[in-house]
Amino acid sequence: MIAALDGVALARPADAADATPASTAPARLVGLFERQLLELDGQVAAAEDGVRALAAGRPVELHDVMIALERGRLAVQTFVQARNRLVESYQDLMRMQL
């Protein structure tokens, strides 16, 4: 999850030569969240597949299923926290006096 955030340059100062147009910034943010949602979906699907296989009696390692479940849980929690921060930031901007 953290490796995917390498594309976000939050701490980098904006140079005139490196400035991105304002219209591409929202598109980049949307793209980042879309990629994270796809990754999240894959992790949750892997956990669900492991649980189904275990419930069906197929030969699967219990520790592999537990690791997949924990990865899925952590991915969901991380994404929800990122979403909460984004919503909170938006609400702070809307409350600002102009």
Domain boundaries, the chain: 23-95
What pLDDT is attached to residue 61? 93
Q: Mind listing the pLDDT tens digit for each residue in 5-59?
A: 455 444 444 554 555 566 787 888 888 889 989 999 999 999 999 999 999 999 9
**pTM exceeds 0.75:** no
Do 8 and 20 touch, CB atoms closer than 8 A? no
What pLDDT is attached to residue 52? 95
What pLDDT is attached to residue 1? 46
